[in-house]
Amino acid sequence: MYLRSYTPVAILSTICGTTAQLVNPTNETFGNVFNFWSKTTDGWDLTRGNSTSAITLPMPHPAGNVTIQPASSALVIIDMQNFFLHPDLGGDPLGRALVPTTIDMIHAFRANGMKVFWTNWGLTDFDLMSMPPAFFRDFSSDGTSGSSLGSDMGMIQGNISVGRKLMRGSWNAQPFGDLFDEQVGGVANGTDFYFNKNRLSGMWGSSTPMQTFLQDNMITTLFFGGVNIDQCVWGTLLDAYYKGYDVVLVDDISATTSPAAATGMVDFNAALNGWRANSSDILPALM
């Protein structure tokens, strides 16, 4: 029996009935026929050939504007939870200050047919069984394991059961303030989707619930905000970049309790891996 030898690109070309070229003649396309960006006169086209209802968003100089396909784009909100933000839990006031602008972004993305992802800590007892020691140490509030992940956080305001620390379904793990109503309403209406995570990154590992959803729905362009910008936001953005997604960091819906140098590092590298912008850059184009 004689078996012909095919390269992966040749196999894909045969299956798809097209000729897969890795480099286009004018060198203005980056990638290949299945996953590519195209240079434009003022920036980048990320629609991968599907320009239906495309939107061009201005990006700060010198990155260049980006043209996106709404059906394949999403806003990712990370860890805007009571545990990190509520004042009675010592939450970050800088994070709480992001809420109104974050809600404006949520409404604008929904209005343009783009999905909103809520990516939050939401542990199970199985997650605790496989959690590395370093994470238990990092989340201990008094230096002992008894106050770390999964521990009962007691009551606040006399009648609110805070629940077990960052466990799925607990009050401390739900979105903070008005964001909770936005999340519940968005999920009920089918515009928003909620994904639990068990590490800093919502894209950690070979596959996560969010990554599976992205693949099933052919979503390729992701806008990131939340807390902390240098930890869970950065970790998720970086893993998404490693896995081939377009990444845009939205600075003014992101914050951290870390020193300013930490944000500087994220801003510098996010601009190399994708784009940095503010809601003030994006919202006028979505209106």
User: Are 253 and 226 a contacting pair, CB within 8 Å?
Assistant: yes
Q: Which two tokens stand for residue 57?
A: 């968003």
User: Are 280 and 101 a contacting pair, CB within 8 Å?
Assistant: no
pLDDT at 19: 46
pLDDT at 23: 53
Q: Which two tokens stand for residue 94?
A: 């800088």
C-alpha to C-alpha distance for 63 and 42, rounded to whole angstroms: 9
C-alpha to C-alpha distance for 197 and 117, rounded to whole angstroms: 12
C-alpha to C-alpha distance for 89 and 96, rounded to whole angstroms: 12
Strands of 55-57's sheet, edge to edge?
A: 29-32, 35-40, 43-45, 65-68, 55-57
pLDDT at 25: 61
Pairing of strands 221-227, 246-255: parallel
User: Are 247 and 240 a contacting pair, CB within 8 Å?
Assistant: yes
- Quickly state the pLDDT bin for 95 (edges 50, 70, 90): very high
Q: How far is CA 207 from CA 59, 81, 212, in A?
A: 30, 23, 7
pLDDT at 12: 40
- Quickly state the pLDDT bin for 2 (edges 50, 70, 90): very low
Flag whether pLDDT at 5 surpasses 90.
Answer: no
- For the 72-122+173-286 domain, the top CATH level (class) is alpha beta
Pairing of strands 43-45, 65-68: parallel
Q: Write the pLDDT tens digit of every residue in 200-258.
A: 999 999 889 999 999 999 999 999 999 999 999 999 999 999 999 999 999 999 999 99
- Quickly state the pLDDT bin for 33 (edges 50, 70, 90): confident
Q: Which two tokens stand for residue 10?
A: 């040749």
Mean pLDDT of 43-65: 92
Q: What is the pTM of this model?
A: 0.91
Q: Write the pLDDT tens digit of every residue in 219-230.
A: 999 999 999 999
- Report which DSSP code applies to 128: H
Give the residue extent of every domain in the chain.
1-33, 72-122+173-286
C-alpha to C-alpha distance for 92 and 229, rounded to whole angstroms: 12
User: Are 104 and 112 a contacting pair, CB within 8 Å?
Assistant: no
Q: What is the distance in angstroms between the CA of the first residue and the CA of the last residue of the chain?
A: 63
Element (H, E) at 81: none
Mean pLDDT of 95-110: 98
Pairing of strands 65-68, 192-197: unpaired
As a whole-number percent, the residues of the chain with pLDDT over 70 amount to: 91
pLDDT at 61: 78
Flag whether pLDDT at 93 surpasses 70.
Answer: yes
Q: Which two tokens stand for residue 272?
A: 């190399």
pLDDT at 1: 39
**What are the helix (H) ranges across 41-145?**
82-85, 93-96, 99-111, 125-129, 133-138
Q: Write the pLDDT tens digit of every residue in 176-189.
A: 999 999 999 999 99
- Quickly state the pLDDT bin for 13 (edges 50, 70, 90): very low
| Bigger pLDDT: 20 vs 166 | 166
User: Are 75 and 219 a contacting pair, CB within 8 Å?
Assistant: no
